[in-house]
Amino acid sequence: MHPTLLPARPDFAFVAQRVAIFCDGCFWHGCPQCCAHEIKTNREFWKKKIELNRLRDKRDSSRLKRNGWTVLRFWEHEIADQSGLIVQKIRKSCHRQRQDQ
């Protein structure tokens, strides 16, 4: 299956292992650690936009999981600060999925 046929648009997909990876931007997806500060301009627009993004993220993750995929989501700040740990998590998930098949 080509990743474009999935019920969501992960940033990366290991199709054979059924592992979908999302790299969520801290601002765009409302990271509670990085974006706890108040939005200064156009506040209502951005609050609504971010909330809709978060709802879509939940919906997409649920759809993929129902179809047997492992879903990994990483915040932008995690990717910058903990890349080695993230690579380990991805490898572990891919290996686990391969064993289950």
Is 67 inside a domain boundary? yes
Mean pLDDT over the full length of the chain: 89
Which tens digits make up the pLDDT trace of 62-91? 999 999 999 999 999 999 999 999 999 999
Q: What pLDDT does 75 receive?
A: 95
Which residues form the domain of 33? 3-95
Give me the helices (H) in 9-70, please. Answer: 26-29, 43-66
Q: What pLDDT does 101 receive?
A: 58
Is 100 inside a domain boundary? no
| Buried residues in 60-95 as b, exposed as e (16+ CB within 10 A) | bbeebeeeebbbbbbbbebeeeeeeebeeebeebbe
Q: What pLDDT does 89 receive?
A: 95
Inter-CA distances, 31 with 42, 53, 101, Å:
19, 11, 34
Is 90 inside a domain boundary? yes
How sure is the predictor about 3, in pLDDT bands with cuts at 50, 70 and 90?
low
Looking at the structure of the chain, the number of domains it has is 1
How sure is the predictor about 1, in pLDDT bands with cuts at 50, 70 and 90?
very low
Q: What pLDDT does 96 receive?
A: 82
CATH (domain of 18):
3.40.960.10
Is 101 inside a domain boundary? no
The share of the chain scoring above pLDDT 70, in percent, equals 89
